[in-house]
Structure 1
Amino acid sequence: MLQTASVQNSFITASFLPQTTFLPPLPYPVYFVTKDPKWLDLIDCDELPPVASLYERCLKDHDIWSAQAYIDLKQRGLDVHLVADPVPGQICVIPYYHLYAKDLLFKSYVVACQHDSPHPKLCEQRIVINPSRVLDSTHHFLPHRPQPNLKPRNPDRGSTVQNLVFKGKAFNLCPPFRTPEFLADLRSLGIQLITNTEQLQSDRDTFAGWADYSQADVVLAVRNLTEFDASHKPALKLINAWFAGCPALLGPESAYQSLRKSDLDYIEVRTPEEAIAALKYLQNNPDVYQAMVENGCRRAQEFTPDRIALAWHTLLSGPIARGYENWLQQSPIQKHLGRPVQYLWRIAAHKLAHKQYLYQIHHGPRILESVY
């Protein structure tokens, strides 16, 4: 069993090594826009510094969908650039919260990244991270790549179930899973709940906490979200668990459910009682624990950095490139009059979508409403 775990660990480690395989050229250059000053040293950079240290800065959604994507594609030989402002006349990929109306975005062909955010209107096409947000042909689902520099579970832990880990701030964990009663039930099984990013003091420490699964035995992620809010969340916690070599107990979120192919992918739980029952089952059935680890290793191969980089390439060289070509071929009247007029409407629609999002993430049916 430990030998099998070592093989899995080797696969996981290899998945994050710097890649040397180049992808075919893109039909057009692509400009990733970031407004975060911590990336100034990479703006219009010809040669990347060591990527491991760069990935440590990728903490926010806007980092993942600008600088991190740029780094992943740049090191695979593609004509991509990181810039502080949209480049007129070019394909510009911009995270939602870096879409600034004052940048006159109608002058660029904007592809907005709708991460965990409102529906973007100041764009031509959209990238979404949950397949349920694909609303029409201008929306494209792109899965998360796994956590950079991920440190997998120590294979010497075997099928031990002692450390139940929640990767995130404790307040995001559904309240019944934070009660003294639940913690006492865990202790009765010899299990402790660890929210190991809760007390971290620096960005570097936060990154290390998110990426370190070396002492994790089972991943927990249950959030009592509205159905609307859950439909915007990615499946990153599941993908990371697969790469880390940890079984996962997850809430009934659509992103997880869309990836599920078998009972070995993860265990869905809605209540603390269901979580306790699942943990007992894993403790009493080490063969099932190991089967979930091995299955996760296989599923992880669908989401390696290489596979996600290829998905980016397919998107940028396919529907994005075709849309850009059509945009370039618009008439002079459309370019000089139609686009600015349309932009005024888009600004109003963008503000309205933002307001609706802030309301709907807190109001409406909840995915655990029947339970709590």
Structure 2
Amino acid sequence: MSFAELSEYRRTPPPRSVAALATAVLGLRRAPAVIVIRDDVPLFVASPHFTTLEVMPTSASASTPHQSALPLLPQRGVLPRDPARGEGLQSVALKAFSYNVPRWLDDDFVRSVERLGYSLRVDTEESGRWNDFSDVDVVLCTHPDDLDDERRKPPTKLIAAWSANVIPICGDYIGYREIGDATTMVIADRDADGYLEALRRLRDDPSLVAQVRASMPEAASRFSTDRVIDGYVAAIARAPRAKRHQAFTALCGALAVDILARVGRLFRRARRTSPAPI
């Protein structure tokens, strides 16, 4: 199951969610494996103790025997770069949630990109063009400015770029380094100057452009839907079954926390509605 849905992006998963999962495990005649996919959840948020396999976003984030790094499925419905664009480098795009667009991507950065001979497009959730790379030559793979731990970020932007046959410029982050190298992406320092320098390198070095473009199809094939699914099937088959006593302990603890929270809310409500003393 998705840990993002289970935890609801809170510092601890809601007791009701943990209780529901533990109840489902205990309700089966034979305990199943309990597998959570962390997605992009902060690493300090702990999964339930009876989890038997935690799918981690990067190899660097896997630190216990029951954790394993596996890629997410590639982005659905990708419209790849139009081959008719040829060898040109004109259009640069960044695709991110609006709240994750780096602060350094300001008007000065846009003008600097244009002085290098490119045009820049920022596709957020409002654009409806996250999947459309048809008129894009280069994509900027960034992370949020306030990222608490780079190990938690899966390299989905890089995989999407490979799948779309668009040259990726990647900030120097662990997730990108783990799956890519100088032949499959252009690494940049994590600030505006770093990305501008990478764009300048591409503009001035046709051999770099040719090298990255030639390597992307093979890189994308490593993360095809079939290969990713095969990896998950193999990991699920190896995952041990949950231990009933751990699930029962988690259920009791979650119910206790939930009951105490409910009692606390009732007590506070009663204090607010009780008549003032005469």
* Structure 2 residue 101 is matched with structure 1 residue 101: no
Please tell me whether Structure 1 or Structure 2 has the larger radius of gyration of its CA atoms: 2
* Structure 2 residue 69 is matched with structure 1 residue 141: yes
Q: Which residue of 1 aligns with 2:116?
A: 189
CA distance in 1, matches of 2:256, 2:62: 22
Aligned length: 237
Contact preservation (8 Å) 1:238, 1:256: yes
CA deviation after TM superposition for structure 1 residue 168, in Å: 1.4
| Residues 144-153 or 265-274, more deviating | 265-274
* Structure 2 residue 191 is matched with structure 1 residue 266: no
Q: Which residue of 1 aligns with 2:37?
A: 113
- Which amino acid in structure 2 is aligned with residue 181 of structure 1? D
Using structure 2 for the length normalisation, give the TM-score. 0.76
Cα distance, 1:97–1:281 mapped onto 2, change above 3 Å:
same
CA deviation after TM superposition for structure 1 residue 263, in Å: 4.3
Contact preservation (8 Å) 2:100, 2:145: no
Using structure 1 for the length normalisation, give the TM-score. 0.58
| Residues 153-162 or 302-311, more deviating | 153-162
Q: Which residue of 2 aligns with 1:131?
A: 59
| Corresponding residue SS for 2:214 | helix
Residue identity over aligned pairs, in percent, reads 21
Contact preservation (8 Å) 2:19, 2:255: no
Cα distance, 1:288–1:150 mapped onto 2, change above 3 Å:
same
Deviations 1:23-56 (A, max 9, x none): xxxxxxxxxxxxxxxxxxxxxxxxxxxxxxxxxx
Cα distance, 1:169–1:228 mapped onto 2, change above 3 Å:
closer
| Corresponding residue SS for 1:121 | coil
The answer to which structure, 1 or 2, has the higher relative contact order (CA under 8 A, 6+ apart) is 2
| Corresponding residue SS for 1:211 | coil
Map 1:84-95 onto structure 2 (within 5 A). 93-95=1-3
CA deviation after TM superposition for structure 1 residue 240, in Å: 0.8
CA distance in 2, matches of 1:183, 1:267: 20
Query: Aligned Cα RMSD in Å?
Result: 2.5
Cα distance, 1:256–1:346 mapped onto 2, change above 3 Å:
farther
CA distance in 1, matches of 2:246, 2:114: 65
- Which amino acid in structure 1 is aligned with residue 60 of structure 2? S
CA deviation after TM superposition for structure 1 residue 285, in Å: 2.5
CA distance in 2, matches of 1:124, 1:317: 12
CA distance in 2, matches of 1:211, 1:227: 24
Q: Which residue of 1 aligns with 2:229?
A: 309
Q: Give 2:216's match in structure 1, choosing from 284, 287, 296.
A: 296
- Which amino acid in structure 1 is aligned with residue 124 of structure 2? T
Structure 1: segments with no counterpart, 5+ residues:
1-92, 201-205, 350-372
Contact preservation (8 Å) 1:130, 1:234: yes
